[in-house]
Structure 1
């Protein structure tokens, strides 16, 4: 992770307001992304247009204003609020003599810094190469573009170098995809093992920095032994971690489930990144219950919820049962913890909230469990051991050579226990 002692690069944040989304929120979010990339926004410049100018993004006058603003602030880099075309970036850099970073490149840079596991590193590299490929340009080559070469049919050396670069990137993309497929096969095997365990699967999803990892750690602390070994990384910043964490949560009364903490989302997440991380996001797609964690203290939380909904739809996870978990209520004036239908307002840093949160989860994932009466022969030690070790026993008594047991049973267990039903 980046050290806070490293001097931050000064930038100007800029964008075109085409009134197609909440622009003020988008600019505010862009500044957060800038901060997450170890930069600081020295100034903001915006322009209202029906559509960005095709060749230069901004109008001519606004570009001159941008250049003068950066000179006044002694800034050499501008961060733009949209994904720009290669032509737009080159033209702005030529006119203003500034370094241009668009929104997509900024997010890719952040992801590259945060990636820790081999899978995450490969996924980010893949997205960066896919972003770079259409942006290759002969002017970026050092070879003389005018000189011809034998066998190149009057093409300049710069163009030849460009083609070599394209082939190199395409080969690297193919190589990374192959490596990811191998990793994903291993991950798929692990995921199948969890699916075969019959334990309910719960996935935490939501906007980056909403408190998913804090929520997972709070549940681990409340219900898991050796919790220090199980805790996941958490920090108050965007994209603190890119890796999916999976933990086995054991609640009282032999209630257990698999909990996963997925990569956080951000509005207009680059499509290449969504594609690259689809394998990671399968934890959400294959969950029995999705918990969307929302930063309730953020005034833009509804836009964040919309972003999460868009990503879930893109990975075909929008039909899975979901509950809304409004976190960070301790930073608001709203009473908490409180539950309303399929929503909970809570604080991940306070134990009473987490205990009510866990009860709320149980009511969702164990709602099909039934209380049934069983008659088990005393000689059937295997079935007795299973019931006593894996189910919630409400009452138990011995009459002659049989155990009469009242227990809470899941639907799968009820099928094979049918011969014991009293």
Structure 2
């Protein structure tokens, strides 16, 4: 087992103290099978451009290497290729950053071909600009002879070319996956079953909640990123009301942008949902910051306006002296939140009732007027599929529509809502 020293430069102003961020990094390390032997923090206006930490702290890391015998340095930020190279040269140990560690965990937990391809794409895109430090010991391979083009490719150039070719191939494969998922979602919409997506911070209990609500047996483990591949199960809300409940990959503070891009096909399951269940671990000391991190990713995906029920999970683990309602107010949790314990079943019937009522409200048609720009004409097919268009007028700036549409569509149509002619 590798012995790791964790290092964090405290420079961000995002509500996460260094100790809390390092505790999460330690949990990531343990999930990856690494033993944590110590932590180091330093407050700087910004990370040092060469060594991430300042010169004095670098000397301290050298001393701790000899004292603790660590063989791996884990940095709590994404490091530049230069920072990685200079740190390894100075410390003579392996250096990984937070992004590389998360990618390693994703690689361990990917179960399906789609999941493995998405992880490999993220890894390749992360490693491509960092290949230089892997091949600094190799010199250019000369290819002599009359009529030849001169020096041949270095091993570095060969690896870069192969990486780019592999990236292009994976992207083509994932585009096919996206098209397949789109066709599947199209068939699913034809069944007229509402879709609910579970979203939340990693290890908030989404998979346990899916199992508790549907009777499924999806892997639910007390570790980070146990679920990577989306899983959908039927959720019976009453004798006459059935929905589809989808579990999705968990989010995390400082989620690598390469992962968001690589997992686009998976995350699009969220965009197809009528309702989101935002699962929050109410017992976590950083519950508010975790919820904010999830909302930020939803904003990046364009799903921040979707109808959402906040589910405060693990209430069974709260100390008896803690008032859950007061805690929720202190954490700035939405007032429509539902307290549950997915492990014991507490609050699940209340949650079912809330889901059923919300879905009925979402399905209620509403009269709206929309101005659709000509470049967004493809939206009209979606509107015709889900609602009734009673009038359309072609104007210079776009197509003006009067329609009756289910409330579930309105959040994503908000940019196109136009004042009613009657109100003008």
The TM-score by the shorter chain falls in which range? 0.7 to 0.9
SS of residue matched to 1:231: coil
Counterpart of 1:17 (choices 10, 13, 27) is: 10
Deviates further, 325-334 or 237-246: 325-334
- Measure, in 2, the Cα distance between the counterparts of 1:146 and 1:172: 23
CA contact (8 A) 1:141 1:161 kept: no
Structure 1 unmatched ranges of 5 or more = 1-7, 222-229, 371-410, 413-422
Confirm or deny: 8 A CA contact 1:336 1:353 kept in the other structure. Answer: no
Task: Kindly indicate whether residue 164 of structure 2 is the aligned counterpart of residue 170 of structure 1.
Answer: yes
Structure 1, 264-273 or 56-65: larger mean CA deviation: 56-65
Cα distance in 2 for residues equivalent to 1:146 and 1:202: 56
Change (3 A) 1:33 1:369: closer
1:197 Cα offset (Å): 1.5
Q: Could you say if the C-alpha distance between residues 231 and 336 of structure 1 is closer, same or farther in structure 2, counting changes exceeding 3 Å? A: farther
Indicate the SS of the match to 1:241: coil
Q: Check 1:80–1:139 CA distance in 2 against 1; reply closer, same or farther (3 A cut).
A: closer
Partner of 1:111: 106
User: Would the aligned equivalents of 2:311 and 2:338 in 1 still touch at CA under 8 Å?
Assistant: yes
Distance 1:305 1:152 in 2: 60
**Compared with structure 1, are the counterparts of its residues 90 and 340 closer, same or farther at alpha carbon in structure 2 (3 Å cutoff)?**
closer
1:237 Cα deviation from its structure 2 partner: 0.4
CA radius of gyration, larger in: 1
Q: How many angstroms does 1:14 deviate by? A: 0.4
SS in 1 for 2:204: coil
Alpha-carbon offset, residue 357 of structure 1: 1.4
Q: Do the aligned partners of 2:279 and 2:313 also contact (CA within 8 Å) in 1? A: yes
Paired position in structure 2 for 1:91: 86
Verify the 8 A CA contact 1:201 1:289 in the aligned structure 2: yes
Alignment deviations for residues 230-285 of structure 1 (CA, whole Å, 9 cap, x no partner): 32111010001201011111232311111111000111110010001111111111
Q: Is the 8 A contact 2:2 2:35 kept in 1?
A: yes
Residue 285 of structure 2 is matched in structure 1 by 299
Comparing 135-144 and 47-56, the one that deviates more: 135-144
TM-superposed CA distance for 1:67, in Å, is 1.5
1:246 to 215, 232, 253: 232
Of residues 30, 34, 46 in structure 2, which corresponds to 1:39? 34
Q: Please identify, of 125-134 and 345-354, the stretch whose mean Cα deviation from structure 2 is larger.
A: 345-354
Tell whether 2:180 aligns with 1:194.
Answer: no
Q: Which moved more, 1:57-66 or 1:146-155?
A: 146-155
State the distance in 1 between where 2:339 and 2:144 align. 69
Matched, 1:282 2:234: no
TM-aligned CA deviation for residue 144 of structure 1: 2.7
Q: Is this contact kept in 2: 1:64–1:96, CA < 8 A?
A: no
Deviation at 1:154, TM superposition (A): 7.2
SS of the residue 2:74 aligns to: strand
TM-score by length of 2: 0.79
Residues 340, 56 of structure 1: alpha-carbon distance in 2 compared, 3 angstrom cutoff:
closer
Q: 2:223 aligns with which of 223, 233, 237?
A: 237
Is residue 123 from structure 1 mapped to residue 112 from structure 2 by the alignment? Answer: no
- Root-mean-square deviation over aligned CA pairs: 2.5
1:211 maps to 2:205: yes
For 1:395, the equivalent position in structure 2 comes to none
Spell out, residue by residue over 1:156-191, the C-alpha distance to the aligned partner (whole angstroms, 9 max, x if none): x6x622211111000000111111122222222111
Structure-to-structure mapping, 1:221-232, within 5 angstroms: 221=215, 230-232=216-218
Alpha carbons of 1:189 and 1:74: their partners in 2 closer, same or farther (altered >3 Å)?
Answer: same
SS in 1 for 2:154: helix
**Which TM-score applies when normalising by structure 1?**
0.79
The match for 1:344 among 326, 333, 338 is 338
Aligned length: 356
CA–CA distance in structure 1, aligned partners of residues 7 and 92 of structure 2: 16
Which range is displaced more, 23-32 or 360-369?
A: 360-369
- The CA distance in 2 between the partners of 1:146 and 1:211, in whole Å, is 53
Supply the distance in 2 between the matched residues of 1:38 and 1:182 (Cα, whole angstroms).
34
Q: Identify the residue that residue 3 of structure 1 maps to in structure 2.
A: none
Counterpart among 351, 360, 375 of residue 357 in structure 1:
351
Structure 1 pair 53–154 and aligned structure 2 pair: CA distance change class (3 A): farther
The C-alpha deviation readout for 1:327-381, integer Å capped at 9, x for no partner, is 00111135679998421111112234212211121121123678xxxxxxxxxxx
Q: 1:91 to 1:147 in 2, by over 3 A?
A: farther
1:153 Cα offset (Å): 7.4
The gaps in structure 2 that reach 5 residues or longer are 365-405, 408-424
283, 291, 302: which one aligns with 1:316: 302
Q: Which residue of 2 aligns with 1:53?
A: 48
Distance, in Å, in 1 between the alignment partners of 2:59 and 2:141 is 32
